[in-house]
């Protein structure tokens, strides 16, 4: 049973390979992320107000660090919520 499942997964992967995610900031050649760019930060902060992990957004580690810094600054300046319902 378990074996069968594994095969299915492999087949699934072969027919529908996962789309490779790329870091949007790298694509746009951005070095510093400004905390005042709320529209851009919003894309990485879903409803709860938490920063989305790299595995879901595909952001590279360099930009994820800058992004986290920017989001924290934006929260201090009340541009983004610390917690949202």
The site string for other proteins over 15-44 (x = CB under 8 A, - otherwise) reads ----------x-xxxxxxxxxxx-xx----
Task: Count Cβ neighbours within 10 Å for each residue of 53-74 and write b for 16 or more, e otherwise.
Answer: ebeebebeeebbebbeebbebb
By the rule CB under 8 A, 57 interacts with other proteins: no
Q: How far is the CB of 52 from other proteins (least distance, A)?
A: 17
By the rule CB under 8 A, 76 interacts with other proteins: yes
What is the chain's length? 85
Give the interface size with other proteins as a residue count (CB under 8 A). Answer: 23
Footprint of other proteins on this chain (CB under 8 A)? 25, 27-37, 39-40, 73, 75-82
């Amino acid at each position: 049973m378990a074996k069968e499942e594994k095969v299915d997964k492999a087949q699934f992967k072969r027919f529908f390979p996962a789309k490779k995610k790329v870091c949007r900031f790298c694509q746009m050649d951005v070095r510093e992320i400004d905390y005042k760019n709320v529209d851009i930060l919003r894309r990485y902060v879903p409803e709860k107000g938490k920063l989305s992990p790299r595995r879901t957004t595909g952001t590279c580690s360099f930009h994820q660090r800058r992004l986290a810094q920017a989001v924290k600054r934006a929260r201090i300046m009340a541009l983004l919520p610390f917690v949202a319902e």
